[in-house]
Amino acid sequence: MLWSKHSPHLARISSARPTFDDNDEPRSLKREPLTPSTEVKFRMFYPDHSYSTLKLQLASTVSDIAKQAAEKLAISYEDCVVFEMKSTSEKLIFKENETCIVTTLSHNGRLFAAQKGGIEKLKPLLEQEGPNSSSFNELEIMSSRELALQMTLYDFELFNCVYESEFVVSVFKKSHFPDKIVGNLDCFLARFNEVQHWLLRKFVLTPLISKRVHILRKFIKIAQHCRDFQNMLAFFGIIMGLSNIAVSRLTQTWEKLPGKFKKLFKEFESLLDPTRNHRTYRLAVSKQESPFIPSCHC
């Protein structure tokens, strides 16, 4: 489910994301940019699928994290390895000098620590298999316009927190800028994937065609409002989600979609054309006035 701090009705999309601490006091509605000294609470999982909650600064290295995890595992720090466990059982091992790793986790990834040489047979958590049910009524809590507005308010906060230098660091690799983090940019880019996963989950967990048609209409309308609000991040997140094979293969659902919605979606989908360096998208953006939220699909 989508989450926005502006709406109590929408729950956070992914429990894999860390929570950012503000001296354990209630936070204001306005999101504050992440800095190297920002303290973050996150779950560290272990081979037996137990976990502990760690609290460290974003600038902390993997070595710093491994030292705390090694105590829990009752092993020496030198024998501890920290890695991301993906839902596909793929394991991404972090280097000792890497920083800000909690913001780089994939949508359904979890942070694990284990003894070196013993990670090959480890399996993902049960929760990483994803939900097996979904509530159709969640989308009816708000109108399409209100949902798009809440998404835009939250997405703009994410984008507004990104420092220009983070784009430079991201392009030229963090190894060249050891004292810099790109946590704000990581959160902004992750949002794009979160929107797609939210949409896909709604479709694949809804068995009735009539309800899927209703969901399809709802998302197309949300995308239209996001475009009107100049939220290209959410707009393209929705359109790319609807273009995903998991949704596009639902031929009976698309056949029952009213013609005006088919036409509208085809118009939106044309903006995904990657030819000539995404010229269609660039022309559309050039006609918008600031402020607007750019997409990260290019």
- For residue 241, the model assigns a pLDDT of 95
State the pLDDT confidence band at 274, using cuts at 50, 70 and 90.
confident
β-strand partners of 165: none
Determine the residue type at 298.
Answer: C
Determine the residue type at 184.
Answer: N
Rounded to 10 degrees, the C-alpha dihedral 9/16/227/243 comes to -110
- For residue 215, the model assigns a pLDDT of 95
State the pLDDT confidence band at 28, using cuts at 50, 70 and 90.
very low
Answer with the residue of higher pLDDT: 112 or 19.
Answer: 112
CA gap 22, 178 in Å, rounded:
24
Average pLDDT over residues 44-50: 96
- For residue 21, the model assigns a pLDDT of 45
State the pLDDT confidence band at 228, using cuts at 50, 70 and 90.
very high
State the pLDDT confidence band at 29, using cuts at 50, 70 and 90.
low
- For residue 297, the model assigns a pLDDT of 67
Average pLDDT over residues 256-278: 92
CA gap 276, 283 in Å, rounded:
11
Evaluate if residue 1 carries a pLDDT over 90.
no
Evaluate if residue 220 carries a pLDDT over 50.
yes
Evaluate if residue 5 carries a pLDDT over 80.
no
Tokens 């056949």 map to which residue?
Answer: 255
| Residues across the chain | 298
CA gap 54, 45 in Å, rounded:
10
